[in-house]
Amino acid sequence: MDFPTDCIFCKIANKKTGTEIVYKGKGIVAFRDINPIAPVHILIVPKRHIESVNDLTERDASLVGRMVIAAKDIAKELNIAEDGYKLLFRTGKHGGQEVNHIHLHLIGGAALHEEIRPLNVDWK
Ligand code: 5GP
Ligand code: ZN
């Protein structure tokens, strides 16, 4: 499969690195975040290179649906479903997206901070 050679998540999804794949679904893989912010921090990633939520189209609807279902299944498998977790798509500069290959964060395993407010507290 062709993919941008400089995209780390394309490389991981196409098994060009040693990163352990913890889940495989149709067109989707998941792996542990290299720099976890919680006891459970998994990234759910489509194999196809899509830069961000901004680049999704109607034809991606089932893929994105499967990413969310995968997150739910992984949460159940890791026994964090009942206590709960966060699912996060960072998008673009303001969203803090650092890797430009769309990914869904599954974050949990502990009670999570509420903080999602703007950096600039004077926005009001
Ligand atoms: P973003 O800020 O783009 O939403 O999140 C990117 C995430 O990917 C970060 O949490 C970062 O720790 C993780 N990450 C970046 N490079 C790698 C990598 O090479 N391997 C893994 N497993 N995670 C990575
Ligand atoms: Zn990519």
Domain range list for the chain: 8-81+90-108
| Predicted local distance difference test score (pLDDT) of residue 1 | 52
Which ligand does the CA of 45 lie closest to? 2
Which ligand does the CA of 94 lie closest to? 1
| Predicted local distance difference test score (pLDDT) of residue 107 | 98
* From 34, 106, 107, mutation site for ligand 1 pocket: most ligand atoms within 8 A of C-beta: 34
Phi, psi of 28 (to 5 degrees): -135, 145
Q: Which two tokens stand for residue 89?
A: 């798509």
CATH of domain 8-81+90-108: 3.30.428.10
Report which ligand 1 atom has the smallest distance to the Cα of 89. Answer: 4
Long-range contacts for 31-38 (Cβ within 8 Å, ≥24 apart)? Answer: 33/105, 37/107, 38/107, 38/108, 38/109, 38/110, 38/112
- Which stretches in the chain have pLDDT values below 50? none
Helix and strand totals (H; E) in the chain: 3, 5
| Predicted local distance difference test score (pLDDT) of residue 2 | 65
| Predicted local distance difference test score (pLDDT) of residue 120 | 83
| Predicted local distance difference test score (pLDDT) of residue 52 | 98
| Predicted local distance difference test score (pLDDT) of residue 5 | 77
